[in-house]
Amino acid sequence: MANLPYNSAEGSSDVVPESPSPERSTPTTEQQMSPTCFQTSMVMSSQETSLSPVIPIIQCDRSAWKMRQNESGLGPANLQYGLGDGKEEFNEHAALQQAFNYIRKATKKESTLEKHLQTVEDIAWKSGLGPKDIDTLLEVVLSSPLRAEAVKSRMLKCLIPTTLIPESAVVKAFSKLCTHNYSNSIKIIFFRWLIAMFDFIDHTEEMNSLYGFFFSFLQEESMSCYVCHLLYLLTKRENVKPFRVRRLLDFQSKVGIQPHLQALLSLYKSFCPDLVSISLPQKRKYYFKNTDSIWQTAVYIVKQRNQLPSLPSVELSVGISASQPQKRKWNSSCIIPKPTSSFTGEKKQKGGSTSLDVMFGVRKTFPVEQLHMFSQLLENIQNIQFPSQMCSVLKNSSLLHYLNCVRDETVWLRLYYWMNQVLKEGCTWCKVSNYTTEEEFKSFLDIVGKAQCFLQEGFPSSEVFLYRSLPLWDGTSCRSEYLQLLSWLPLGNFSEIRPLLCDSLAPLFFTSSIFHKCSVLYSLKQLLQNWLLRYAMRANVKTMMSTSSHTTLNVVNSVSELISFVGWLSTNALRLEEHSSFLFHFVLDFFETVSDMYLNYNLPLVVIFPCGVFYPALLTFDSITLNHLCYIMYRYRVNLTAAKENDVIRQERQKFNKTYQKFNEYVTALVDCLWTSTAFEKDHFLYIDPEIMKKTKIKDYKKSLNLTNHPALLVYSIYFLLQGWPGEKELALGTIQKKKWNWYLDYLLLEDLHGLHLFMESSLNVADSASSASLYPDAKRPKICTSGPISV
Amino acid sequence: MDSLDVPEFTPKHRVPPRLRDYFTGASPFHRHLESVRKQTSFGQTPFRRKIPECSPLQENFDPQRIAFLLHKQWTLYTLTPMYKFSYTNLKEYSSLLKSFIAAEKQKGLAVEMEEDFNFKVIFSTLSGVKGTQRDPAAFLVQIISKSQLSSKNAEEKVVWTGWFCCVYGDSLLENVPDDFTCLPLFLANGAESNTALIGTWFQQTFDCRFTRLTISAFNLSWMAAMWTACNLEHYVAATELLWSVPCSPQSLDISYAIHPEDAKALWDSVHQAPEEITQEEVDLFIDCLCSHFHRHFKINLAATRLVCVSTSVASAHTDGKIKILCSKYLIGVLAFLTELAIFQIE
């Protein structure tokens, strides 16, 4: 964009207070300009206010524009509106042409003209103008017989390019501007437009050949700052001529020392130091006012709307280190530099050769600075060298891709050493140094986490850091970012990890808030998933080469230890948090992954969740929890049934018998409660002496946990009755029987209790499948999963 | 996934045990990681250490150069292993660093680059500053300013000095491949801004990382004990310990100076095995000093923090500054600092 080569707040030193951070454009206000410049700046500010009202017309939908079209009575084109996108674009073009044609001929202001003007404005601010339209519009504006200045300036402001601006259009327009008698304000708008859009002009050779003409506009004091700026952008070495220097100096002596003149002079001096003999203040920072951000945002909006990639190179080259404030400590942590080519590595390869040899070297290396896109990586993958500082790969996805296919261990070692240090220094709770704030460390952890996620692998340094810093962690600072490291621990022996991790994690877990507990459980779920994925991936490869049952056994042990650890955590956490349904969500989420391990990840292992999770979930007040529980039970059944065929499980029958027994116990309990209402009977899990139950004076307590009376489902049954039989004066849940019972089950499904439904379908032996009363509670028995691995 | 003859780029699961293959990992890096995994918490240090002694390689000392290292206050940094550093390229490095500094100093100014700068950068090796033959050679970087008056005999002044060394750094060297040069300890003397420039250049060029090395009170008490234990013919300074009392608005420092011979006598009464020092001995030594102080002034130093130790061998401050006074024990002092540095970077 038309970013200024010199930008800073340096007007006249007597007015301007020293700005604390002079680098990076701090827009200086008019007050900071020197008094001599004041007049011109007044002009500018009035321009600015006239520019801004155009903005609100940008509309996200086309309806307003269409409405206006309808009002203007544009005949046939109207009929096709809204038929399709292609059509609309076509119409947009047609409407634009029509408007141009009209404006070209219009001689006086009238309502039709206004409508056409608005059409142009709408289209321009919304989707921009193509090169041809820019050309036409420029021509229309500058050759129209209209006298109205306002109309012309409005039109000029619409010159927003979608792609490029043809140089020929600019040259044509400029020659018109030179030959016709236009007011200064039109000229100023034109120059400002040129400055703002300079980077969109496809060539500048011809424009440069008109350098002298541009230069001649310097005489006008009111526009000299714009002309200077334009010349600054346009000047080449051959344009610097003695007479121009003289002219500039004359002009300067006339109007006084002006920042824009000085800027141009300094450029001249840098091109031809022999021609400019005056001494320019060395440390002075020159300044052009960057006023036309409105145009720039308009271009940006148009680009975004047209979904063109908006100058990716520019975006990427402004890396983090470039935007870092300069005053930071040089080795303060958490700054990730931009990738830069390794210099010494190159030299060494060539054996201390001269730079010429490097230039004509046989193998051309592709500079990492230029690597922005994946396609570039693919094209140059043989010629890429890692950047001089390995850590810079962290924020560059192409380089991360590259890292992923490199075997060289030194690459990882370089990253390891660096990250080790930065994590240690940055860690706000370890207090090794006080250089970093929590925010900075947080964002650094986030970058590390993202890179790990990208590579699908944890960095060893973050693993080591986790073990070391966990005992000191307060459980709140950088929580989600820090716990993300946890989920990328490498798949290893859990018994080895346990003392490092769990001994400090567990006390913190139990003493922290429910949100902390949920985050930890979430990360542990991610950890489990990552481990399972890693295993599944490796198992996939191993089947092609050779199977190693030893590794499988290791993984099985590790995973089951992790699950039992989480089971223990969950059981206690649920008790501590009084079975909060929020916590239940995370606990059950974890066990949902567990229940599907065999089928999803091919791990010969099925681990049933602990009683401490199952029974509270069964007796919950929350229908979501109950539904989730039923779904998990359904998945367990599917997995257990499939696992019967597995060789490994067959071999370890003894161990897995227990799993089947436990599962059957749970199924029985679930069916006892919800369907058969036998949970309170002798030998069932909720058995309480009937004498005691009588004393509680609960009527019909046996049925109090069935599908209609269960506290989690009571809402549904009541609402079911209210909706179905609104006339009934008394709500009798007992009446949900036979036909109503079936309707009720359908109703529950409609209410998205899918888990319940799936469980019911899979786990209930229907006594008489044909009869309509088939699902009547008393008629069913739990379908028990045969305990032995050999199917019956 | 089809054939085995794609040597360079293969999908990740075909890559032989990298970091992810925990179970089968066997490279030095893996072994290193294993050891790090086992070493659980921050602040684990050896329980006993050898008494600092003269290095067998100390004969190679160039006395003039060593004298140059003494009696100066050095700011301590740790440095992670340098990638692709080569001792044969020192000359090239000095010219690269020189132009880097020149470019950095002129950043933002629209002036022409002069060919001849008014300073020069010199890289040179420090032979003999190492504990074993395996230790990589130490080297020195100096910035020398030439006075503006431009005659050939113009006075040259050293404005900044920094040196890199590794003394008895076996524990680090074991696990590092040949591409890396391990000089974990960096000492700088001169303006911080110059340290920043040079550090930045090293970080960019050799993919390493500088960190300030601070010395904990615990390690300072070790230093106090070890340096008291040194046998010196004559003492140049009193043994002085500085305790800091955290109180507002300004912290209060308590200085505790002892005659070096008294300190040595106390140490000898505490010390048992002739070759090594144990943690108990260190604790006992400091406790004795504190209780002596308490008897006289009724101030309990154990409740304050040790921030500075100075003896005739060397003096060290908790914020990572050191001054070495005695050439005989230079290697011993550096060995302990190297140990601390390695501990910090691992």
Residue A343, Cα to own-chain centre: how many angstroms? 34
Select from A424, A460, A500 the Cβ nearest to the Cβ of B40. Answer: A500
What are the respective helix, strand and coil percentages of chain B, to the nearest 5? 35, 25, 40
Which one-letter DSSP state was computed for residue A273? T
Q: How far apart are CA A97 and CA A5, in angstroms?
A: 38
pLDDT for the residue numbered B273: 83
Residue A96, classified by CB atoms within 10 Å of its CB into exposed (0-12), middle (13-18) or buried (19+), is: buried
**What is the DSSP annotation of A579-627?**
T-HHHHHHHHHHHHHHHTHHHHH--S---PPPHHHHHHHHT-S-HHHHH
Are B209 and A417 inside 8 Å of each other by CB? yes
Q: Which of A341, A407, A413 to mutate to test the interface with B (most CBs of B within 10 A)?
A: A413
Cβ A471 vs Cβ B41: under 8 Å: yes
CA distance A623 to A749: 12
pLDDT number for residue A579: 92
Give yes or no for residue B308 having a pLDDT over 90. Answer: yes
Mean pLDDT for chain B?
A: 81
Interchain contact A472–B (C-beta under 8 A)? yes
A135 CB near a chain B CB, below 8 Å?
no
Give B344's contacts in chain A (Cβ within 8 Å): 424
Handedness of CA A568, A571, A575, A576 (dihedral sign): positive
Q: Are A341 and A387 in contact (CB under 8 A)?
A: yes
In this predicted structure, the answer to whether residue B256 has a pLDDT above a threshold of 80 is: yes
Residue B327 in contact with residue B66, Cβ under 8 Å?
yes
Quick count: other Cβ atoms within 10 Å of Cβ A615?
Answer: 14
- Say what the pLDDT of residue B181 is: 93
> CB A467 to CB B179 under 8 A?
no
- pLDDT attached to residue A780: 55
Lowest mean pLDDT among A406-420, B28-42, B221-235: B28-42
C-alpha B293/C-alpha B183 separation (Å) is 40
Check CB contact of A422 with chain B, cutoff 8 Å: yes
Cα A97 to Cα A94: distance, rounded to the nearest angstrom? 5
Instruction: Name the residue facing A330 among B16, B33, B200 (closest C-beta).
Output: B200
> Is B22's pLDDT higher than 70?
no
**Which of chain A's residues have a Cβ under 8 Å away from the Cβ of B176?**
413
pLDDT for the residue A282? 56
- Going A214 to A216 to A217 to A222, the CA torsion angle's sign is positive
A14, burial (CB in 10 Å: exposed 0-12, middle 13-18, buried 19+): exposed
- Rounded to an integer, what is the distance from CA A222 to the centroid of its chain? 46
Interface ipTM: 0.86
Q: Cα–Cα distance between A161 and A399 in angstroms, integer?
A: 34
Q: Could you tell me which chain B residue has the CA closest to the CA of A404?
A: B12
CB contact under 8 Å between A337 and B204, yes or no, is yes
- The two structure tokens encoding residue A725: 């039989």
A551 contact B CB<8A? yes
Average pLDDT over residues B297-325: 92
Measure in Å the smallest separation between the Cα of B207 and chain A Cα atoms. Answer: 5
Say yes or no: A243 contacts chain B, CB-CB below 8 A: no
Contact A48, A291 (CB under 8 A): yes
Closest Cβ–Cβ partner in B37, B80, B180 for A421: B80
**Chain B CB contacts of A414 below 8 Å:** 83, 207
**What pLDDT, on the 0 to 100 scale, is given for residue A2?**
39
Q: How many CA atoms lie within 13 Å of A42's alpha carbon, on the beta-carbon side?
A: 6
Q: Enumerate residue ranges in chain A where pLDDT < 50.
A: 1-87, 308-327, 344-362, 767-779, 787-792
Angle subtended by helix axes A111-127 and A293-306, to nearest 10: 70
The whole-angstrom distance between A241's CA and the closest CA on chain B is 21
Is the Cβ pair B89, A344 closer than 8 Å? yes
With left for phi above 0 and alpha for psi between -120 and 50, is residue A51 left, alpha or beta? Answer: alpha
Yes or no, beta carbons of A460 and B33 under 8 Å apart: yes
- The pLDDT of residue B330 is above 70: yes
What distance in Å separates residue A648's CA from the closest CA in chain B? 21
Q: What does the pLDDT read at residue A68?
A: 41
Mean pLDDT of B201-212: 92
Query: Helix count (H) and strand count (E) of chain A?
Result: 37, 2
Query: Is B37–A347 a contact, with Cβ atoms under 8 angstroms apart?
Result: no
Cβ neighbour number for residue A166 with a 10 Å cutoff? 18
Q: 3-class DSSP state for residue A32?
A: helix
Cβ contact B179–A410 (<8 Å) = yes
A457 touches chain B (CB under 8 A): yes
Alpha-carbon separation of residue B331 from A739, B52, B70, B142, B324 (angstroms)? 94, 8, 12, 21, 10
Residues 6+ apart with CB under 8 A from A392: A336, A337, A338, A339, A340, A399
Mean pLDDT of B234-241: 88
DSSP annotation of A29: P
Give the pLDDT of residue A306: 66
pLDDT at A345: 45
* Chain B residue with minimum CA distance to A491: B22
Residues of A in contact with B29 (CB under 8 A): 409, 412-413, 416
Distance from CA of B181 to the nearest CA of A (A): 12
Poorest-pLDDT segment among A207-216, A588-597, B109-118, B141-150: B109-118
Q: Which residues of B touch A490 (CB under 8 A)?
A: 19-20, 22
Q: What is d(CA A563, CA A554) in angstroms, rounded to the nearest whole number?
A: 14
Which site among A232, A324, A330 would you substitute to test the B interface, given the most B Cβ atoms closer than 10 Å to its Cβ? A330
Between A and B, how many CB-CB pairs are < 8 A?
140
Mutate to test the interface with A, among B3, B10, B77, B83 (most CBs of A within 10 A): B83
Q: What's the pLDDT score for residue B71? A: 92
Residue B31's pLDDT band, with cuts at 50, 70 and 90, is low
Q: What is the DSSP string of A160-180?
A: -BSS-B-HHHHHHHHHHHHHS
**How far apart, in whole angstroms, are the C-alpha atoms of residue A276 and residue A239?**
14
Look at A180-189, B52-61, B63-72, B207-216 and tell me which has the smallest mean pLDDT. Answer: B52-61
